[in-house]
Amino acid sequence: MMRSKFLSLLIRAPSVCRSMSTATKLTTIDVNDKTGIATLTLNRSPINALNVELLQDLNESIKEIEDNKSRGLILTSSNDKVFSAGLDLNEMYRPDKDRARLLWIKLQDVWLALYSCDLPTAAAINGYAPAGGCLLATVCEYRVMLPKCRIGFNETQLGIVPPIFCMFNFLNVLPRRVAERSLSQGQMFTTEQALQIGLVDDVVSSKGEALDKCTKFIDTFAKVNPLARSLAKQQFRAADLQRFQTERAKDLESFLAFINHPQMQEGLGIYLNSLKKKQQLNAV
């Protein structure tokens, strides 16, 4: 209630860029008054690892942007090196059962909200985007990336089976053969490789340019009837959405079974440790 009152006040404010930031600030929303486009920024320090709270916040922000009839949604990160490090591995290692369940449900919700989003969506990938980071980038309709970053679904490299929604995203973006190979090999692509295979649409040298490119992409729909555009998008995605709904419960149980497997736990522990060790080495 308070929140919507606050929002309506902001909407009337005559600023060029109005902020609809959520109270927790794990994501922020800025709506450009000139273009009507909302920029949704991931803002969980240090590396936008997707934990329950960030995913919950992301869901609320997507809904807020849709409800406020923005003209489009641009997803980006406040970190200048990492778009998102993917799922927070601490939620999966020695997990709290209820939180692990919630984590997966919230991830499914975010995917669903973006995959079926009425608005045109674009990702300004201003840093590394492994696994869940790649999921957020490839669920959008357009991607632009900064140089010297990496993107991809590295799950199989970690002994993890990529869920079906990773497959849906890749099949929307890449030729089937490339999608299958890169998912099953857990390939991570440099920015330049990603451009070459079509995983990203463009490469630019700054975040500002990335946001401009995303705005231009969304502007290409300016003269298209919004309902027709939205229904055409839904039509393309209907079969995936139907399959997702059919398999959603099973997908959740598979995830829980998978992360609770002793071998998976051992592997996760080693991997988490190696990430921490990397920092220790850097400090030497």
Ligand X SMILES: CC/C=C\C/C=C\C/C=C\C/C=C/C(=O)SCCNC(=O)CCNC(=O)[C@H](O)C(C)(C)COP(=O)(O)OP(=O)(O)OC[C@H]1O[C@@H](n2cnc3c(N)ncnc32)[C@H](O)[C@@H]1OP(=O)(O)O
> Could you give the residue numbers annotated as active site?
87, 132, 154-155
Q: Using the minimum distance from each CB to ligand X, give the nearer residue, 120 or 130.
A: 130
Cα distances (Å, whole numbers) of residue 184 to 14, 158, 161, 163, 181: 50, 11, 9, 11, 5
Question: How does strand 27-32 pair with strand 17-19?
Answer: antiparallel
Among the listed ranges 41-49, 95-103, 138-146, 231-239, the one in contact with ligand X (CB under 6 A) is 41-49
Number of residues that bind ligand X (CB under 6 A): 29
**Beta carbon of residue 1, minimum distance to ligand X (angstroms, whole number):** 35
Return the residue of 7, 10, 89, 171 that touches ligand X, per CB under 6 A: 89
Among the listed ranges 1-9, 26-34, 61-69, 254-262, the one in contact with ligand X (CB under 6 A) is 254-262
- Residues 16/17/23/25 CA torsion (nearest 10 deg): -150
- Is residue 120 a contact point for ligand X (CB under 6 A)? no
- Is residue 122 a contact point for ligand X (CB under 6 A)? no
Q: Using the minimum distance from each CB to ligand X, give the nearer residue, 72 or 132.
A: 132
Place of tokens 């700054």: 206
Cα distances (Å, whole numbers) of residue 1 to 20, 58, 67, 70: 14, 19, 15, 21
**Beta carbon of residue 191, minimum distance to ligand X (angstroms, whole number):** 13
Number of H helices, E strands in the chain: 11, 10
Q: Which two tokens stand for residue 127?
A: 């840093």
Contact set for ligand X, span 149-168 (CB under 6 A):
154-155, 160-163
Q: Using the minimum distance from each CB to ligand X, give the nearer residue, 49 or 124.
A: 49
Report the amino acid identity of residue 235.
Q
Distance, in Å, from the CA atom of 165 to the CA atom of 21, rounded to the nearest integer, reads 28
Query: Which residues here bind ligand X, judged by CB under 6 A?
Result: 46-47, 49, 81-82, 85-90, 128, 130-132, 154-155, 160-163, 251, 254-255, 258, 275-276, 278-279
